[in-house]
Amino acid sequence: MDVPCDVVEAGLWDDLAEEAGRCRRHAVVRHNQRPGLLVMRDGSITSPQRCTVHPGGAALKELALSKSLAEIVGEATGQARMTPIRFGFKFYGPGNFMHVHRDDRKCDITFSCGLREGLAPMGWLPRLRWLTSDQVAERLADALFPTRGDAFPILSRQLTGFDGRRIPHWRTPLGPVSREVLITICFADLSA
């Protein structure tokens, strides 16, 4: 689900790009080296990954807490009270990757976008959304970057929502000169 461009003020995107630039040098390395797919108690699937992450600052918080974005999230999920429970910048450099995985169970919907044009797409397997995590892990045990998946475009400065807790997805290793910045925002219904 693409968020309409006018939901986010154009000036906020510039603020986010500037903030990401400041945050990059303080980002923490996320390098999970445990081999294979591990099904967690909450139903998520964790796997090897390498990138750097930062929770962002005022501009990212403004985006995540935006009333207009909350309305879009509510429409997409059918839930009136969706709350951003996790958000941040993910910095991918040459060779960085994220093997196939499923997001935390508490993430009802994940929104993501890039901050510049030409980002590599994410791979995903929407046809496997109804399988249990054990079934997904068994089916994809030898395919940490599945070759039969679909491409999920990472749009520049336009958020796209997807069901990351059910749909297995991944980012293949970046080329030798690639540098990408992704914004991710996970929402949950905390009213239950």
Q: Domain-by-domain residue ranges, the chain? A: 5-189
pLDDT tens by residue, 45-92: 989 899 999 999 999 999 999 999 999 999 988 888 889 999 999 999
CA 190/CA 192 separation, integer angstroms = 6
Query: Residue 32: what pLDDT?
Result: 80
CA 118/CA 16 separation, integer angstroms = 18
pLDDT tens by residue, 139-180: 998 888 898 889 999 999 999 999 999 999 999 888 887 889
| Mean pLDDT in residue range 119-136 | 94
| pLDDT tops 90 at residue 5 | no
DSSP β-ladder status, 82-92 and 28-32: unpaired
Residue-wise DSSP of 1-56: -BPPGGGS-HHHHHHHHHHHHHHHTTPEEEEE---S-EE-TTS-EE--EEEEEE--
Instruction: Tell me the average pLDDT of the chain.
Output: 91
Token readout for 184 is: 């991710």
Query: Residue 192: what pLDDT?
Result: 66
Burial of 153-190, coded b for 16+ CB within 10 Å and e otherwise, reads: ebbebbbbbbbbbbbbbbbbbbeeeeebbbbbbbbbbe
| pLDDT tops 70 at residue 21 | yes
Burial of 61-84, coded b for 16+ CB within 10 Å and e otherwise, reads: ebbbebeebbebbeebbebeebbb
CA 192/CA 182 separation, integer angstroms = 30
Give the sign of the dihedral formed by CA 161, CA 97, CA 137, CA 150: positive
- Amino acid letter, residue 116: R
The DSSP output letter for 174 is: P
| pLDDT tops 80 at residue 25 | yes
| pLDDT tops 90 at residue 126 | yes
CATH classification code of 5-189: 2.60.120.620
Let me know: does 109 contact 161? Beta carbons within 8 Å. Answer: yes
